[in-house]
Every structure is written in structure tokens, then in C-alpha cells.
Chains A and B, each alone.
Chain A
Amino acid sequence: MTGGDMQEPLLTVRDLVVEFPMRRGTLRALDQVSFDIAPGEVLGMVGESGAGKSLTGASIIGLLEPPGRIAGGEIRLRGERIDNLPPEAMRRIRGRRIGMVFQDPLTSLNPLYTVAQQLIQTIRTHMDVSEAEARKRAVALLDRVGIPAAARRIDDYPHHFSGGMRQRVVIALALCAEPELVIADEPTTALDVSVQAQIIDVLKEICAERGASVMLITHDMGVIAETADRVAVLYAGRVAEIGPVRDVIQHARHPYTRGLMGAIPTLEQTSDRLVQIPGAMPRLNAIPKGCAFNPRCEQVFERCYSERPSLRQAAPNHQVACWLTEEGSA
């Protein structure tokens, strides 16, 4: 797991387990999820619906909704544990050190407050600046995220803005206290296709300017390919594969990742290469023993039914949880 020459990670997630205690037994929604995010790095996170991407984000920022709870593992921000902080200490990290962008800009903004009120309140919650100074920063930031006539528009209410513009406001709000890490949970899914690329670009550029890292959750492998430095593939609450984007896209090792990659429409790959993985991801109360992917895997063999493959180094910086890779490279 030693990344060799990698600098100290900004975020470290180790063996994270998230459970939902239910009347009929406990559901394990995240099972030993591990990954790092380096300073300034964009980590893409992909996986089918229900794979646990949002739960991973919520665990990091400390907003798991009860009865969901972290039942194991640890989360560190610059080496300091943040998964067991008292609520007030965690609150001070949210917004200030870890920002979050949600999926739907139409519902993310409080309809009864102007953009200025929401921005200034957030800035002044975390920074000791005057109202006027906060406003100046807010205007500059709105301008930076691409709101035309920001100085005037800042006093408008959210409903005065279009969906794309609102998501820019949301990004400004997530970034206004200058966090080191931004978690973006499907930031463009709810938007018109024509503005999706612009929003991703704005997010990426500003984070790059400020040296902030990004955890970008998305279903869109095209966005990952263009935006992320590394990508983590989640399946049934487990990390299947994680590595540099190029490696993972061109030399996917996990059979599930290969199936997913078949779904990226790129110039070289024409549609006849689209691979559809048969079957569906298991429900949380019916995850099979051994490798969670075994019912759908074309290369499944005996060991896959009895032992769970853990994440192992397959290439520099590239880890895979599959017995095939284990045996191939060990």
C-alpha cells in the first residue's frame, strides 16, 4: 500500500464500514472501503446506482443519516482522524476544510434567502471577516464561477437563476470558505446536457487554482476520463479497482471495470464494442459469499465463491480486488 514517492495524502480512508441496523439484521452498505486522495488530486468515483458512492461522501463529511453509522475503519484528513470527532469539531471542518456539492441545484439553495445572504453567512461562519469583506469575496467568487454581472446578481434569490447558473452558485457556496477537499456528488446529473461540461470545467479549474482536491462522484465515464487523475470503482459497497485514469480505462483489470468501460462512448470504440454486463448488483441483504461480483463474472472460478479478494497492488499505484489479478501478478 506504500505509494512510494507519493506525498502524504490529503484524505485517507481505511477499511471504512458503514452499517444500517435494521429490524431484520444489520445491512452492511460499505464494506472495508479504502482509498487515498492526494493534495490537488481529482479522484473519480464510479459505480452502479446503490454501489455506495454517496454514502462514502456522506461518511467523509460526517453527514451520515441515522440509523446509518460508521461501524469500522477510519478516515483521516492530513493524518488527523475525523471520523470520531465530536459534532461541533466536525461542523467546523465542514465547509471550511471539506466542501460538498450536491446533485440538484434546484433544491440545494434555500429559496427564502438571497445568494448574497447564503454566501456571506457561510463565509462568516468560518472566517473572521467583516460583512463587507465577506461580500467582496462572495462577489469575486461568483464572478469566478461565471455568473455574469455578479455584483448585481448576488442580491437575487435562487429562483431568479437558471439551473446551470444555480449550480455555479452552489459551487461558489461549497468553495467560499476555501476547503482543501471538495466532494461533488453527481454535480451535473440534474442539469441540461448543454451545460454539464461547463460546470465540470468550472469546478475543476477553480479547485486546480486553489490546490483543492476533488472527489468526483459520477455515472459518466466520459467525465471521469476527461477530468479525473485517478478513479475508484465501487461495487456493492466495496472498492473493486482503483488506479490512474489512463491505466484503469485502457487496462482495466477487474472484470466489472472492464464491463463498465465498455459503456464509454469514445472515438476509437464504436458502439459494437459496448459490453452489457448481465445481471444486477446484489441487494445489501443478499451479497454473495466470496467475491461480491461472482454471480455476474464471466471469469469466475472456485476460489471466488469461498474467499473475498482484498485490494492488492496490480501495478504501481493501481489496486484491484480480484483473484485473477492476484494470481496473475503475484
Chain B
Amino acid sequence: MLAFILRRVLQSLVVMLVVALVSFALFRYVGDPISTMMGQEATIADREALRERLGLNDPFVVQFFNFVTRAAQGDFGISYRLQQPVMELILSRLPATLELALVSGVLAFVFGVGFGVYTALNRRGWMSGAIMSVSLIGVSLPTFLIGVLLIWLFAVELQWLPSFGRGDVVALGDWWTTGFLTTSGRASLILPAITLGLYQMTLIMRLVRAEMLEVLRTDYIKFARARGLSNRAIHFGHALKNTMVPVITITGLQLGAIIAFAIITETVFQWPGVGALFINSVRFVDVPVMAAYLMLIAVIFVVINLIVDLLYYAVDPRLRVDRAGAGH
């Protein structure tokens, strides 16, 4: 078990280093940081002095090492555009993105699994047919279009929900701000969360349905029926548990994807999260912010991956090493 975790952590570190290299290359070679920072009128001597001070004349390996060390301490430098420490900027935007992703993820998971199980168990029912057809729309419409449609219907026509922003937020602790505690905050979450989660929900639903149908055909389900177990025990115990083994992996990875895809949703809904921050940084070639965002997404993916592996391990006893004494 320990060896397994260690191995996965090591792999994660390697992945992070590779991403760091990409971010660093971005940092170093996209545009000239000196001219971005000093503007056009600085003298050559001034430029050279800054270059020396920032260590830009050091050998590549040394620069990369310094970059990684500072990144590990959360230091990504100062945003060119906003003249604030990058880490501060990201931290102030992160709660908005994480809360949005969390709500979308929970929506996608709960409804995805629920609809998946329902359509698998009632394969021939008309409701299942309806759910499947609607879900086809879910996968084929682009996210921004869904967002715009939702805004048009619920914000413009019906005027039930706000069309942009995060509503009122409440500070929790040093840097976290939450929209969960105010009515306008909760109302503002609904449309973006649906927009962001719809695609993932459809994916999860189709996966759960396919897996569940597969599991329902297995011999152990037949045998469970032959032993007279109740439908509830068979469907929601024996079958669902086996269905969830592969679903956990995909769902976990989808959560990473949700955070990454939040860029589009945040743009459509002017949601003050890191995705919107990233888009603005790209527009202004604000390289430190871009690099930090890349690293952040990588960390999130790696951590989610790790958690998924551990979950997988907890659910499926076949992956565990034989316990002592459980031999032949």
C-alpha cells in the first residue's frame, strides 16, 4: 500500500516537473519580459541591469531551478497587467472557480449516476428514451451555446436568475470568499453550474448506463437473482457497486476537466474566477499569470488523479495485495 502511494506520488512529481518546464519556457521565451516590464523608453543599460538582476543571464538550468524553487513556494512573480503578486491574484479568484466547479461536479455526478442507473434499469421505458434523447443534445451542443440559451431563457425572458457575476459574497477566513451564504450568491451559481456540468453529466450518465447494463448481464448478478435477493439489493448493492469501479476513474478525471473547461463558462457568465483571469491574461500576454494558471491546473489534475487511484484501490479488493494468511 505504502509502496503504491509512494510510486504514484513520484509519478505525480515527474508530471509536475514537465509542466513546470512548459510554464517556464512560456515565461522565458514568450515575448521579452524586459520590454514588457520597462516599456519602450528605457535605456539599453537599464534593460541590461534589470536582465542581470532578474537572473535572465544565468544558464538555463539555473534559471529553471530558481523558477521551480520559487513556484514551489507559491511565488510566480508580479502580474504585468495588474502589477500585483500573481499568487495573490489567483488566490483571490480561486474560490469562485472552485465553488462553481464543486457545484457543477456534484450536479453532474448525482444526476449522471441517477439518470444512468434509471435508464439502465428501465431500458424500454419511454422516460429512458426521453432522457437519452435529451442527453444527446447535451453532448452535441457547445458549452457557450448552452450558456447563452440558458441566459436568454432564465435571465432575459423569465428574469428568474441573474445573467452574470457571482452575486454577493461573504469572506471566510483570510482569503476565501463564498457565494453559498447569500441568496444572490446561490442564485448566481445555478445557471453557470448547469452550463458547466451538463456535458459532464451526460458523459457520466452514458457511462453509468453502459456499465450497469454490462454488469446486469454478468453471472454474479444472475446468481444473486437465483438466490432470491431483493431487486433493491441486487440493483443498488451488487450491480451499482461494480458499476462504480470504472465510473470513479472517469468521474474524477471529469472533475479536473470541469475546472479546466470553466474558462468558457466563466467568460460567458463573467464569473470572477481563475478561468476568466486566464483569458484576460492571454489577451494581454500576461505571462506570469498564464504560467501560474498552467501549474495550478496541473496540480489539480495530479491531485485528483491521485485521489482517484486511492479510491479505486479502496473500492476494488482485487487491487489490494493479499493479506497475510490469505494464501492458497
Q: Which of B270-328 contact A (CB under 8 A)?
A: 315-318, 322, 325-326, 328
Note all chain A residues with C-beta closer than 8 A to B218: 107
Distance between Cα atoms of A40 and B237 in the complex (Å)? 34
Note all chain A residues with C-beta closer than 8 A to B328: 162
With A112-B242, A113-B238 already in contact, the answer to whether A107 and B220 are too (CB < 8 A) is yes
**Residue with the highest number of chain B CB atoms closer than 10 Å, among A92, A112, A159:** A112
Taking the closest CB of chain B, its distance from the CB of A31, in whole angstroms, is 25
- Interface of B, secondary structure class, is helix
B226, A99: Cβ atoms closer than 8 Å: yes
Taking the closest CB of chain A, its distance from the CB of B240, in whole angstroms, is 10
Whether, in the assembled complex, A61 has its beta carbon less than 8 Å from a beta carbon of chain B, the answer is yes
B225, A112: Cβ atoms closer than 8 Å: no
A95, B226: Cβ atoms closer than 8 Å: yes
Whether, in the assembled complex, B235 has its beta carbon less than 8 Å from a beta carbon of chain A, the answer is no
B228, A93: Cβ atoms closer than 8 Å: yes
With A111-B242, A156-B326, A157-B317 already in contact, the answer to whether A63 and B220 are too (CB < 8 A) is no
Distance between Cα atoms of A162 and B238 in the complex (Å)? 22
B223, A125: Cβ atoms closer than 8 Å: no
Distance between Cα atoms of A15 and B225 in the complex (Å)? 26
Distance between Cα atoms of A114 and B224 in the complex (Å)? 14
Whether, in the assembled complex, A248 has its beta carbon less than 8 Å from a beta carbon of chain B, the answer is no
Interface segment, one of A169-177, A192-200, A275-283, A293-301: A169-177
Whether, in the assembled complex, B10 has its beta carbon less than 8 Å from a beta carbon of chain A, the answer is no
With A112-B315, A112-B317, A125-B233 already in contact, the answer to whether A94 and B219 are too (CB < 8 A) is no
Q: Which of A155-181 contact B (CB under 8 A)?
A: 156-157, 159-160, 162, 170, 173-174, 177
Distance between Cα atoms of A311 and B230 in the complex (Å)? 39
Distance between Cα atoms of A96 and B230 in the complex (Å)? 13
With A93-B228, A94-B228, A159-B318 already in contact, the answer to whether A173 and B233 are too (CB < 8 A) is no
With A112-B242, A160-B322, A160-B326 already in contact, the answer to whether A94 and B226 are too (CB < 8 A) is yes
Distance between Cα atoms of A170 and B170 in the complex (Å)? 58
Partner of A157, one of B229, B230, B245, B318: B318
- B222-251 contact mask (Cβ, 8 Å, vs A): 1 or 0: 111111111101000110011001000000
B228, A63: Cβ atoms closer than 8 Å: no
Whether, in the assembled complex, A273 has its beta carbon less than 8 Å from a beta carbon of chain B, the answer is no
Note all chain B residues with C-beta closer than 8 A to A173: 223, 227
B220, A94: Cβ atoms closer than 8 Å: no
A91, B230: Cβ atoms closer than 8 Å: yes
Q: How many of chain A's residues touch chain B, expressed as a range? A: 35 or more
B242, A110: Cβ atoms closer than 8 Å: yes
Q: Which of B177-236 contact A (CB under 8 A)?
A: 218-220, 222-231, 233
Taking the closest CB of chain B, its distance from the CB of A151, in whole angstroms, is 12
A102, B228: Cβ atoms closer than 8 Å: no
Note all chain B residues with C-beta closer than 8 A to A122: 227-229
Distance between Cα atoms of A99 and B227 in the complex (Å)? 7
Note all chain A residues with C-beta closer than 8 A to B224: 110
Note all chain B residues with C-beta closer than 8 A to A177: 227-228
Taking the closest CB of chain A, its distance from the CB of B312, in whole angstroms, is 12
Closest A residue to B219 by beta carbon equals A107
A112, B227: Cβ atoms closer than 8 Å: no
Note all chain B residues with C-beta closer than 8 A to A121: 229, 233, 237
Whether, in the assembled complex, A108 has its beta carbon less than 8 Å from a beta carbon of chain B, the answer is yes
Taking the closest CB of chain B, its distance from the CB of A274, in whole angstroms, is 34
Q: Which of A101-121 contact B (CB under 8 A)?
A: 102, 104, 107-114, 121
Whether, in the assembled complex, A152 has its beta carbon less than 8 Å from a beta carbon of chain B, the answer is yes
Partner of B227, one of A95, A104, A153, A156: A95
Taking the closest CB of chain B, its distance from the CB of A11, in whole angstroms, is 16
Distance between Cα atoms of A153 and B318 in the complex (Å)? 16
Whether, in the assembled complex, A291 has its beta carbon less than 8 Å from a beta carbon of chain B, the answer is no
Note all chain A residues with C-beta closer than 8 A to B245: 112
Distance between Cα atoms of A107 and B220 in the complex (Å)? 6
Note all chain B residues with C-beta closer than 8 A to A107: 218-220
Chain A residues with CB under 8 Å of chain B are 61, 63, 91-96, 99-100, 102, 104, 107-114, 121-122, 125-126, 152-153, 156-157, 159-160, 162, 170, 173-174, 177
- 9 closest cross-chain pairs (CB), A and B: A95-B228, A94-B228, A95-B227, A107-B219, A100-B226, A157-B317, A110-B220, A108-B223, A122-B227
Listed A/B pairs (17) with beta-carbon separation below 8 Å: A63-B222, A63-B225, A94-B228, A96-B228, A99-B226, A100-B223, A107-B218, A108-B220, A110-B220, A112-B242, A112-B245, A112-B316, A122-B228, A125-B229, A153-B326, A157-B318, A162-B328
